[in-house]
Every structure is written in structure tokens, then in C-alpha cells.
Amino acid sequence: MSDSKTKKIKKIAVLTSGGDSPGMNCAIRAIVRNSLKNDIKIYGIKRGYSGLIENEILELNSSSVGNILQKGGTFLQSSRSAKFLEKKYRKEAVENLYARNIDALIVIGGDGSFNGALALKSEFDLPIIGIPGTIDNDILNTQYTIGFDTAVNTAISAVDKIRDTAHSFERNFLVEVMGRNSSAIAIKVGICTGAENILLPNEDLNLEKIANDIKRGIRRGKRSSIIIVAEGTTPGRSYEIAQKLEEGFELSSKVCVLGHIQRGGSPTASDRFIATKMGVEAVNSLVNEEYGKVTCWNQSKIEMRDIEECAQKADINLVTDKDLAELLSI
Ligand code: F6P
């Protein structure tokens, strides 16, 4: 390939990688349509980096992305590829692009996917653009990632329903939300549902405080409570917490693990809008020969940042927001 700094882009490929998120389809649609408008051929890679290694690449046209805007998931499908961590497979992957004269790649995904893109940039000088897509909203230097708003709204609507039965039966509930290392969903859902407590992934559990908070609520007439638990590295950990509250503090709780329901569903207006803007700007950036960037969303607009600054997790936290939740849950 010629020097990526001076190359005029004629063929772009796009893939979605890692945990899928609602709104990814909107970004793909915008990429396809804006590429075609710029007389650039556009290719979709199936199943993320796995499909790139296995040469599952198809040319897309305008109607390939018709009627997908409102659909959750990603029509290109996704994967977490262990093989792609090895350079020999990355070489195979990039050769599949060269074989079709594809000269740039757009990667929609989280920090792990950006690390893969960064490797392609540094090892093969491949022009790449990253688009932040994960329900976790935990990528450094962007205030927003595609799918977060939909996931939060899905979780809020579930917690509202749980509130109804919690109140009717005078019960405590532990509602577990997604977020392996990310607090973002837990905190936003906790604040928006008036949760009595929020347990973050990386903090030490203070069961005595949790129990005292609930008992204080009961003394002043509260008949039910909701605790939002971020799943952390052990999805389902709420069952163990419930057991400890029962054994140590005679507090019985019901558990509801929301799980992958948070990853699906039709994207909200915010996710559709931001994903569309990101998709358009990803192509514009390649047309303008500005490579190695990420379409960050800061101060309500796109800000192109170097991928090196974004290939990391950020726990956009939110300690102050957790304080806010506590302040209001007394
Ligand atoms: O994509 C992010 C995420 O949904 C996290 O919130 C969650 O911890 C993880 O992915 C679950 O991954 P998997 O779908 O591979 O179980």
C-alpha cells in the first residue's frame, strides 16, 4: 500500500466488534450512504475481526442498509476475536483487505476493538477510524458511546416495573445492571429510578452500611427499596449479596438480573442521532485524509481525537453523581 498519509481513499470497509449496541446499524447506514455519495466503494465485514480474518467481506450498496435504522444489534454481526490478538492473524486479516484494494477500515466498538484498530494502524500503516460503540459508555476522551442511552432506558423501564411489585409486596430488590468495569449504567439508572443504593463494580462492599440504610428507611416508613448493582466481573453477584444481607442482617431481598436485555432493542432518538453523525464524520475524515482518529462526542458535537487517546477504558465517574443519588435517597 502507498503511504497512508497521502492516500486518496477509494474503498472503505466497516466492521462492528465486541459487545453489540443499539445504534450500531444507524452508524453503518450513515457510513454506507456517505461513502457512496463520495464515490467510494463500501464493504461490510461480517462478525467483527473474526470475519476479517476469515475473509467474510461483502460489498454494500444503498439498499443493503435500508430499513435497519430502527433495529437493535448489528446487521453485520459482531464477535470478540481472541485470534486477532496475535500478529500472524492480523497480517492475514489485513491481506484480505489488500486483496480487494480496500484502503481504509472503520471500526465500531469499544476500547478493546480500538486496540485492535491501533495495532492495524501501527503495524501496517492502515488508515483507520474508530467509532465509539458500547452500552458501557466507558471510552476515554468521549462523553458518549453509541447504545448507552438505549441500554439505560431499557433498564429504567424494567426498574420502574419492579418498583410496582416491590411496593405492593413491601420488598427489597437488588436489580443487577451491566457494566463489567463500568459504573455508567448503574449510576444513571440509579439516579433516574430513585434507587435507595447503588453498588459500583470496583468498590468494596459495605454490607453493614447498605443494611443500615435500608433499616433506617423502614424506621421512617419506607416499605420497599431498590438497590442497583453493577454486575462487575461476576455477573449474578447480586444473589450472593442478597444471601449475605439475609444471613448477616436479617434482611430478605429479591434479585432481578437484567442481563443482555440491556444490549438489545430499538435505539432511542439520541442513539440514532449521535450514531448517524459519527458515521457521517468517520467517512468525511477519511475523505479529508485524516486517519487514525475516533469520532468522539464532546460538548454535544463530534470531536475527532487520535485513536491513541481513546484506546482505553474510562470509568466516567461519576463519584459526584453517586453522591447525588445518595443525597436524594434518604
Ligand atoms: O458490551 C459491553 C457489555 O455488555 C458489558 O456491559 C458486559 O459486562 C459485557 O459486555 C458482557 O459481555 P458478553 O456479552 O460477552 O457476555
Each of the 330 residues of the chain gets a pLDDT tens digit; together they read 444 555 689 999 999 999 999 999 999 999 999 999 999 999 999 999 999 999 999 999 999 999 999 999 999 999 999 999 999 999 999 999 999 999 999 999 999 999 999 999 999 999 999 999 999 999 999 999 999 999 999 999 999 999 999 999 999 999 999 999 999 999 999 999 999 999 999 889 999 999 999 999 889 899 899 999 999 999 999 999 999 999 999 999 999 999 999 999 999 999 999 999 999 999 999 999 999 999 999 999 999 999 999 999 987 555 567 777 777 776
Report the atom number in ligand 1 closest to the C-alpha of 18.
1
Atom of ligand 1 nearest to the CA of 231: 8
Which class would CATH give 149-263? alpha beta
For a pocket test of ligand 1, which of 113, 135, 231 has the largest count of ligand atoms closer than 8 A to its C-beta? Answer: 135
- Asked whether the beta carbons of 259 and 221 are under 8 A apart, the reply is no
| For the chain, domain boundaries | 11-147+267-309, 149-263
State the Cα–Cα distance between residues 197 and 226, nearest whole angstrom: 7
Tell if the pTM clears 0.85, that is, is over it: yes
For residue 178, the CA-to-ligand 1 centroid distance in Å is 7
Q: What's the 278 CA to ligand 1 centre distance in angstroms?
A: 22
- Alpha-carbon distances of 251 from 154, 194, 203, rounded to whole Å: 28, 20, 22
Take atom 13 of ligand 1 and give the residue whose Cα is closest. 19
* Buried b / exposed e along 7-38 (16+ C-beta atoms within 10 A): bebebbbbbbbbbbbbbbbbbbbbbbbbbbee
Q: Which CATH fold would you assign to the domain 11-147+267-309? A: Rossmann fold (3.40.50)
Q: How far is the CA of 14 from the centre of ligand 1 (A)?
A: 21
Q: Which residues are catalytic?
A: 136
CB 227 within 8 A of CB 196: yes
What is the rounded CA–CA span in Å between residue 212 and residue 53? 54
Chain centroid to Cα 126, Å, comes to 24
User: Is 207 in contact with 241 (CB distance < 8 Å)?
Assistant: yes
Instruction: Report the nearest-CA residue for atom 8 of ligand 1.
Output: 180
* Number of CB atoms found within 10 A of residue 270's CB: 16
Query: Which residue matches cell numbers 466516567?
Result: 316
Q: Which residue has the cell 431481598?
A: 253
Distance, CA of 276 to chain centre: 16
Radius of gyration of the chain from Cα atoms? 22
Ligand 1 centre from 135 Cα, in Å?
Answer: 8
The dihedral through the CA atoms of 205, 208, 209, 212 has a sign that is positive
| C-alpha to C-alpha distance for 318 and 324, rounded to whole angstroms | 9
Q: How far apart are CA 132 and CA 95, in angstroms?
A: 25
Q: Which residue reads 463500501 in cell numbers?
A: 42
Residues in the chain: 330
List all residues whose CB is within 6 A of at least one atom of ligand 1: 18-19, 134-136, 178-180, 231, 263
For ligand 1, atom 4, which residue shows the shortest CA distance?
A: 19
CA of 136 to the centre of ligand 1 (A): 8
Q: Give me the pLDDT at residue 5, please.
A: 52
With the most atoms of ligand 1 within 8 angstroms of its CB, the residue from 78, 138, 180 to mutate is 180
Whole-angstrom distance, CA of residue 13 vs CA of residue 84? 17
CA 41 to CA 62: how far, in whole Å?
11
Kindly report the number of other CB atoms within 10 A of residue 169's CB atom: 11
pLDDT at position 1, please? 43
Tell me the C-alpha to C-alpha distance, in Å, between residue 186 and each of 109, 191, 195, 200, 321.
20, 9, 10, 7, 11
**CATH topology match: 11-147+267-309 vs 149-263:** yes
The sheet carrying 253-257 orders its strands as 197-199, 225-230, 172-177, 253-257
Question: What are the start-end ranges of the H helices in the chain?
Answer: 24-37, 48-53, 87-99, 111-124, 148-169, 184-193, 207-219, 237-249, 269-287, 319-328
